[in-house]
A = this chain, B = another copy of it.
Amino acid sequence: MKFNVIVDQLSQFIKSHSLTTNPDFNPEITQLAAIDEAASGHLSYIEGAKFASMVSKTDASALILPVDETLQTEATQRGIAWIATVEPRLVFAHAIRLFYQPFRPCPGIHPTAVIHPDAVMGENVSIGAHVVIGAGVKLGHDVCLHPNVVIYPGVTVGDRTILHANCTIHERSQIGADCVIHSGAVIGSEGFGFVPTAAGWFKMEQSGITVLEDGVEVGCNSTIDRPAVGETRVKRHTKIDNLTHIAHSCEVGENCAFAAQVGLAGGVKVGNRVILAGQVGIANQAKIGDGAIASAQTGIPNDVPAGEIVSGSPCVPNKLYLKVSAIYKRLPEMYQTFKQLQKQLEKE
């Protein structure tokens, strides 16, 4: 694809601002690449100061640059076509779509799928081989179920939602429109509810449901349980990575992003736009305010105020954590002095 065609297309996608470009070069672009791997014929992007020095080294034929005249001049001098934008990564994301669309089976129902006669389906659904759909399931228009998906009775799935191979949706779950559930994920399974008794654990049946609102994405092998009563809910446009666990009765706000292997215990309430990095854990009933951020492996035993950045286990504000972590390494040194001082104190 010619570079000027790419620029034209991207200009139509990006409405918030106009893209600047260098009209002198118009290379043929054959593929996209990360900046450290880009070769001739490739389009890549530069985001932030960390990779700016790559402009002088890359073999890429074209770059999406931040708005930075020095970089633009440098690219021009090296014969590299460029687009300048305040959002290089977003523009690159749009550019990928010009070259690639993920695999999507044609509409139709595979003859090996087992579909309960009660199930209701919209138009243009795509139902893969060996899919199993229980009684009373309702699928919207353009829903895509990849092979070996199992949907228990009473589930609803909104328009255009994609369920990847080998995922399982349990009874009465409600999944919105434009969701993506990745392979092996389990939605609406029984919450971990047991009451201790003298005779052992007594199972509390999980009569509630799991609700995923529109635009939610759930990563591979992640699990979102349903509660004993009421709902577990993930709100609009929240994105959840692989191997994450969301327990019964949790409520996760809109536009959150949870990285891989995060775990939320029962009844956690997470606000909107919360970001949890990998392997974060949140204890029972904790409330996380809007816009809070937890760095990787953070352990959150209690509530976190809106906008707070927390780190460590048990967590503290990130600024404090950075100081504490720096000192942590000096504990042996501190301890030696401490022992000396302790001796002196004893003398006095």
Interface residues of A (CB under 8 A from B): 16, 31-34, 37, 87, 89-90, 92-93, 96-97, 99-103, 110, 112, 114, 128-130, 132, 134, 146-148, 150, 152-154, 164-168, 170-171, 180, 182-184, 186, 189-190, 192-195, 197-198, 200-207, 215, 217, 219-221, 223, 225, 227-230, 236-237, 239, 241-243, 245, 247, 249, 254-255, 257, 259-261, 263, 265, 277-279, 281, 283, 296-297, 299, 301, 312-314, 316, 320, 323-325, 327-332, 334-335, 337-338, 340-342, 345
**Chain B contacts of A87 at CB under 8 A?**
195, 197
Complex: how many Å from CA A23 to CA B52?
A: 71
Given A148-B150, A182-B189, decide whether A165 and B219 contact each other with a Cβ distance below 8 A: no
| Copy total for this chain | 3
B129 touches A242 (CB 8 A): no
Bound together, the chains give a CA A219 to CA B189 distance in angstroms of 9
A128 to B207, CA, bound (A): 22
Please list the 6 inter-chain residue pairs (A to B) with the smallest Cβ-Cβ separation, ordered nearest first. A100-B207, A150-B165, A132-B147, A93-B204, A114-B129, A168-B183
Out of B195, B229, B242, B265, which one reaches A225, CB within 8 Å? B242
- Closest B residue to A189 by CB, please name it: B220
Contact of A200 among B32, B146, B215, B342 (CB under 8 A): B215
- Bound state CA distance, A32 and B207, in angstroms? 9
Q: Given A90-B197, A150-B146, do A96 and B164 touch, yes or no (CB 8 Å)?
A: no
Q: What are 22 A-B interface contacts by the 8 Å CB criterion? A: A16-B198, A92-B204, A93-B204, A97-B205, A112-B130, A114-B130, A148-B166, A166-B167, A182-B189, A183-B186, A192-B219, A194-B257, A241-B247, A243-B245, A261-B281, A265-B277, A279-B279, A279-B299, A281-B296, A297-B299, A323-B331, A324-B329
Dominant SS at the A interface?
loop
A147 CA to B22 CA, complexed, in Å: 55
Q: Is the CB of B320 within 8 A of A327?
A: no
15 extra interface residue pairs, beta carbon distance < 8 Å, beyond A114-B130, A283-B296: A16-B198, A34-B230, A87-B195, A90-B195, A90-B202, A132-B148, A146-B152, A168-B184, A182-B186, A192-B219, A221-B223, A277-B283, A279-B281, A324-B328, A337-B345
Residues of B within 8 A of A243 (CB): 221, 223, 243, 245, 263
> A261's contact among B31, B237, B261, B325, by CB below 8 Å, is which?
B261
